Amino acid sequence: MSRIGYIRVSTEHQETARQQEIMCDYQVDRIFSEKMSGANANRPQLRAMLDYVREGDTLYIESISRLGRSTKDLLNIIDTLTKKGVTLVSHKENIDTNTPSGKFMLTVFAALSQLEREQLKQRQREGIEIAKTQGKYTGRKPIAIDWTRFGQLYGEWKSKNITGRDFMRRMGLSANTFYRRVREYEATHGIVEPTSA
């Protein structure tokens, strides 16, 4: 069980001394530090820290804003830490997810995350409905099939010269689409599979 510190300032000109001091007080074993905007979710040291932490570790930060600026990014990071079994301690907000009040705060974060996901789905559904009424939404376009090539490969497949997997790969089809297209092809060409007695 390690004590991990994460330090971030937004620009090269800002100093990390105050955050370093806080990490010393917490007696962390390792610090991940970077000078990058919190608006950027793809921060190298943040990614390295999230990869490094293990179950039972504790992550120390100066404040929640050090982890992320947007609610979405922050919730994603907290979700990752929770799934990995990592305790989060935020100095400024006095949050420790190993305490009852800290766990409550984590529950609030999780609820906010769920709410955000549901709202996004709702907006997508509403957008599709609007597009449908305007005649702009037709769903996913079906995959175009080269039926001549399909017929050749179908013959090879039925002769056991190629496997179904080879057939799918050569046609660039998923298993569901492949079997649907096989049924279409057989129906169109009057092919009836012999039934076992």
Residue count (the chain): 197
CA 59 from chain centre, in angstroms, equals 21
The dihedral of CA 54, 55, 56, 59: what is its sign?
positive
Domains and CATH numbers, the chain: 3-96 (3.40.50.1390), 147-188 (no CATH)
Amino acid at 114: Q
Return the active site residues. 10
The pLDDT value given to residue 103: 79
42-71 pLDDT, tens digit each:
899 999 999 999 999 999 999 888 887 777
8-51 pLDDT, tens digit each:
998 888 888 999 999 999 999 999 999 988 777 789 999 999 99
The H or E element spanning position 88 is strand 87-90
CA distance 58 to 97: 9
CA 150 from chain centre, in angstroms, equals 35
Cα-only R_g, the chain:
27
